[in-house]
């Protein structure tokens, strides 16, 4: 507690004391003091200089590290040591502010071209850096170009805070650091926020401005179309960028880079590999989880952060089945930081005054600064060369009569007398005479006349070159431009951020917008859940599973994977269910929605867009997927031992798989086909080239646990190669057979291919041997491939064998033409199926 004191008696005051009380207006005093404080913050802390793009603390850090010799080819030192040197000699503020500025210059996600090479934990977008006692640092290679030639009088030096040392007022800055690395800062009454750009693009624009000082904004934007953010991402909409380049103020939207991927056979996900500038993955995960818990986001089952040093950022957002990935992505852009806005505010110091500059002015200020730096450097070097030439010329004069020079020096009483005698006898300047007097005797041996004359000639040539640069503005600007080009070539990197004039949409989104009522894409947002649209479920000969996005007719031509064809096709809907029948007689219930969607097609879809059946369905050892089938129709099933069965669709509703036929030992299912109509013919084709055609009415429908009945009578060692169903009235149906040698590898033995009209084969009774379908020639003893049906689908864009081979009317038991001729003519189509 303060102690109260009594006022001193009036008689105790000094006799010469004169009271002087000054009345000051508080408002004026506050205004003046606040303006001084504001100017100090603006000039000395928060805003970067337009010439080198650095704030005072950043400039002092780089300069002090350069003075400490912390070059890229030397070891790292503790960050605390750098902070202490900067704080003690140049920047009398808190160590935290210095270290924070140092950390930012080392972060490759903050700066497009980092200036400090950090060793240790310098933080991330979600976490702060380690303490300065734990981290180490040195200058990055690019930072040397900012501090080069400081010893050549290229910039002015000013006193430090206590007038004991000097520091550069601005750095030489061999590249436009302000535009390349951007800047951010909050001053008093103003703030700056500048986006990073690509080094090569900015330097290209600067060189164009050097060559064309009257260049317009449009001219420069051909080189600098927009910012290039360190973390990549997408910039959507360029109008705000042009406004910022024109006026110094504007904004643009940044978005994450997202790909829709098939995470597994049944699961689709959104994979994020790039995020908006200064947005960390942990922040994105937190916001997404909050939005999901708050019922703002739906359709997301999980989000996993798989980011590592080797592969970089990778956020996997798993989606629930039945949700449109594009619609979920639009929700993510709306409710999470995966879309962010960047406001450009190009406030910077020009001649000590804060100004808001556009792209042209920013580059102009830098170019003028760089021209002034190169001019001062050239003048400094010219002076050094002239001084050296002056000394060399004096030595040449003295070396001609070196013995006399030595005698003059030895006979002089003192140095001053020797200097005067040398100057008078040889007409030397005082500087030349002093230089000769300071030489040691051992140095005289190396100053031969030839060497001195050679050095004199070289100095005169260099002086002429430097004077030519100073005497020609065009040559000076050309030198600046060429040096900028060298920097771009050495440190330039490809663009990371993609610029989009407008939002890029997927084909699905584009189709939805095209269907808008006004035709201008102003329809309601995309449906979040997948609608129950008609589609095709497809199984291919190579074992790929997929579904289409619609139920357009499946044409016989179009893009497809090489040598792949439709093996089984079922009409269904996106939210429907179908059955899959395996070779061991199991039937599995499949959700069509879980299947990957082939891209919208023109004619035939690309079959490479599916997933392998083994990844989608759990198959037993030695089991294979035979066909897809509808769950609500009577199916006909044929086996390798000639058994046939028609099964009623009374499948269990509470099970995902069940037995659909009881197989005998070593038997397996070879074909499945809808056979609900009594006018359908069932067809067996065996390896011994026997074909049996009989009416489905001859096979009574059985329950799913039955074992079937005899379909075709097989000879010894024969087995069924193909089983299918054909409409009895189908006049376009054909039978395709390819014969070869049993046991031979495909393509190693001759064979024959044959196509015959299906109508040429008579119907027989069930449990008979059928008729001959193919007569074997020499070297042929088995069928390698057999198929019966309507309009076979081709294995490539070439016409199929069935369309090219002559139909053997009246010769159903005849031989085929050589397989080599068919393949040479139409391509190696080796699988057949019915797409209808």
Q: Which residues are catalytic?
A: 134
Handedness of CA 314, 320, 322, 328 (dihedral sign): negative
Tokens 């310098």, located at residue: 122
Q: For 344-448, where are the alpha helices, taking DSSP H only?
A: 359-400, 402-411, 415-426, 430-438
Tokens 């990055």, located at residue: 140
Q: Tell me phi and psi for residue 220, to 5 degrees.
A: -75, -30
CA gap 814, 516 in Å, rounded: 59
CA gap 500, 235 in Å, rounded: 6
- What is the DSSP code (8-state) at residue 712? B
Side-chain-side CA neighbours of 750 within 13 Å: the count stands at: 9
Measured from the Cβ of residue 294, the count of other Cβ atoms closer than 10 Å reads: 9
Counting Cβ atoms within 10 Å, is residue 760 exposed (0-12), middle (13-18) or buried (19+)?
A: middle
Q: For 115-237, where are the alpha helices, taking DSSP H only?
A: 141-147, 177-181, 199-211, 217-221
| Local structure of 5: helix, strand or coil | coil
CA angle centred on 710, ends 708 and 713, rounded to 5°: 155
CA gap 608, 543 in Å, rounded: 11
Q: How do 643-647 and 701-702 pair as beta strands? A: parallel
End-to-end CA distance of the chain: 101
CA gap 169, 356 in Å, rounded: 21
**CA nearest to 386, candidates 463, 439, 498, 280:** 463
Give the strands of the sheet with 625-629, arranged side by side.
Answer: 625-629, 577-582, 586-591, 657-659
DSSP letter for each residue of 625-687: EEEEE-SSS-EEEEETTSEEEEE-S---SS-SEEESS-PPTT--EEEEEE--STTEEEEEEET
């Amino acid at each position: 507690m303060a102690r109260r004191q009594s006022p001193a008696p009036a008689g105790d005051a000094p006799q010469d004391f004169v009271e002087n009380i000054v009345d000051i207006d508080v408002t004026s005093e506050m205004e003046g003091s606040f303006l001084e404080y504001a100017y100090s913050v603006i000039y000395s802390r928060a805003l970067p200089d337009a010439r080198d793009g650095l704030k005072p603390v950043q400039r002092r850090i780089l300069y002090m590290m350069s003075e400490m010799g912390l070059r890229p080819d030397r070891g790292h030192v503790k960050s605390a040591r750098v902070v202490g040197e900067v704080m003690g000699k140049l920047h009398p503020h808190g160590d935290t502010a210095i270290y924070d500025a140092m950390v930012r210059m080392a972060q490759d996600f903050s700066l497009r071209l980092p200036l400090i090479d950090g060793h240790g934990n310098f933080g991330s977008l979600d976490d702060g850096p380690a303490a300065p006692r734990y981290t180490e640092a040195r200058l990055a290679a690019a930072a040397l170009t900012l501090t080069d030639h400081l010893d050549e009088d290229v910039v002015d030096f000013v006193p430090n805070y206590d007038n004991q040392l000097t520091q550069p007022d601005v750095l030489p800055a061999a590249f436009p650091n302000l535009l390349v690395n951007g800047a951010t800062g909050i001053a008093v009454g103003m703030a700056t926020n500048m986006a990073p750009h690509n080094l090569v693009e900015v330097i290209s624009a600067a060189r164009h401005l050097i060559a064309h000082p009257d260049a317009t904004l449009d001219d420069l934007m051909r080189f600098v179309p927009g910012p290039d953010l360190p973390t990549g991402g997408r910039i959507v909409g360029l109008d705000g960028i042009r406004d910022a380049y024109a006026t110094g103020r504007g904004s643009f939207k940044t978005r994450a880079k997202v790909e829709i991927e098939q995470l597994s056979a049944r699961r689709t996900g959104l994979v994020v590999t790039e995020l908006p500038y200064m947005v960390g993955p942990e922040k994105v995960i937190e916001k997404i989880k909050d939005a999901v818990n708050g019922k703002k986001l739906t359709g997301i089952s999980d989000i996993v952060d798989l980011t590592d040093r080797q592969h970089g950022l990778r956020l996997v957002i798993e989606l629930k089945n039945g949700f449109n990935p594009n619609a979920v992505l639009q929700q993510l852009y709306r409710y999470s930081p995966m879309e962010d806005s960047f406001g450009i505010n190009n406030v910077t110091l020009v001649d000590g005054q804060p100004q808001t500059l556009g792209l042209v002015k920013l580059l102009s200020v830098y170019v003028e600064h760089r021209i002034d730096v190169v001019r001062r450097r050239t003048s400094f070097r010219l002076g050094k060369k002239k001084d050296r030439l002056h000394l060399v010329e004096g030595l040449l004069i003295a070396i001609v009569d070196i013995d006399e020079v030595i005698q003059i020096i030895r006979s002089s009483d003192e140095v001053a007398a020797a200097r005067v005698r040398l100057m008078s006898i040889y007409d030397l300047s005082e500087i030349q005479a002093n230089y000769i007097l300071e030489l040691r005797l051992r140095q005289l041996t190396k100053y031969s006349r030839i060497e001195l004359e050679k050095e004199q000639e070289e100095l005169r040539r260099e002086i002429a070159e430097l004077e030519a640069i100073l005497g020609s503005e065009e040559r000076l600007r050309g030198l600046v431009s060429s040096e900028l080009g060298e920097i771009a070539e050495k440190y330039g990197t490809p663009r990371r951020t993609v610029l989009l004039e407008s939002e890029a949409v997927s084909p699905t989104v584009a189709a939805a917008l095209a269907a808008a009522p006004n035709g201008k894409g102003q329809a309601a947002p995309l449906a979040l859940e997948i609608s129950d649209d008609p589609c095709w479920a497809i199984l291919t000969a190579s074992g790929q599973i997929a579904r289409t996005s619609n139920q357009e007719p499946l044409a016989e031509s179009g893009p497809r994977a090489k040598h792949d064809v439709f093996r089984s096709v079922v009409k269904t809907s996106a939210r429907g269910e179908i059955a899959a029948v395996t070779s061991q007689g199991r039937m599995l219930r499949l959700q069509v929605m879980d299947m990957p969607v082939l891209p919208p097609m023109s004619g035939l879809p690309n079959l490479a867009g599916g997933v392998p059946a083994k990844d989608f369905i759990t198959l037993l050892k030695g089991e294979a997927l035979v066909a897809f089938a509808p769950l609500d129709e009577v199916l006909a099933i044929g086996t390798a031992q000639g058994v046939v069965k028609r099964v009623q669709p009374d499948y269990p509703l509470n099970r995902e798989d069940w037995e659909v036929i009881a197989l005998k030992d070593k038997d397996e299912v070879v074909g499945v086909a809808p056979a609900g109509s009594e006018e359908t013919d069932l067809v067996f084709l065996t390896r011994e080239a026997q074909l049996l055609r009989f009416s489905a009415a001859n096979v009574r429908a059985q329950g799913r646990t039955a074992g079937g009945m005899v379909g075709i009578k097989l000879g010894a060692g024969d087995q069924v190669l193909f089983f299918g169903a054909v409409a009895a009235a189908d006049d376009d149906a054909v039978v395709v057979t390819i014969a070869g040698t049993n046991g031979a590898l495909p393509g190693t033995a001759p064979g024959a291919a044959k196509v015959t009209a299906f109508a040429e084969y008579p119907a027989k009774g069930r449990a008979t041997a059928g008729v001959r379908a193919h007569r074997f020639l020499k070297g042929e003893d088995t069928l390698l491939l057999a198929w019966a049906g309507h309009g076979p689908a081709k294995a490539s864009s070439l016409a199929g064998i069935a369309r090219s081979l002559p139909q053997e009317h009246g010769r159903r038991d005849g031989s085929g033409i050589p397989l080599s001729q068919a393949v040479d003519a139409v391509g190696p189509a080796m699988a057949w199926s019915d797409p209808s």
